[in-house]
Amino acid sequence: MDNNKILEPAESLYDFSLNSASGDVISMEQYRGQVLLIVNTASQCGFTGQYTGLQSLHETYKHRGLCVIAVPCNQFGAQEPGDDSEIQGFCQRSFAVDFAVMAKTDVNGAHQSPLYQYLKGAAGGLLTDNIKWNFTKFLVDRQGQVVSRHPPITTPDALAAKIERLL
């Protein structure tokens, strides 16, 4: 690798990818033209019940172009200790989730997902851009622009009106 090469900045969300729970690389390009709700999740968090609301949004709006993408993360209180298979099983058994639940990913720090670095740069937080806890939500429009960032206390159903406007 040429360490002197200057990397070009990513131009859009579609330049990034995430790993699926099965280890496949999922390009964000496949979501072009859709409204996205990207959420860092955890199975043992006080906000874990929000999976119900995320599934409800998914069922209500998927046919109109909404894609909910869960990104499990163990960086907050070690509340996502399982491996990817265990996380998938938990989401399906406990909440009948059928939207995308990706591989466990860091959203802060030296090993953070480049997608999350991009999301945080596009929609910073209060005091710091770092994700502060599980179930932080990013809403992305059909053009791949980050429209808004929502803290964990914002319930999925509270985003329905914003999602409606984007669809």
Residues forming the active site: 45
How far apart CA 21 and CA 100 sit, in angstroms, is 9
Tokens of 151: 């803290």
Residue type, 70: A
Q: 């900045």: which residue's tokens?
A: 9
Helices (H), 81-141: 84-95, 114-122
How far apart CA 80 and CA 82 sit, in angstroms, is 6
DSSP for 27-52, written as a single string: EGGGGTTSEEEEEEE-TTSTTTTHHH
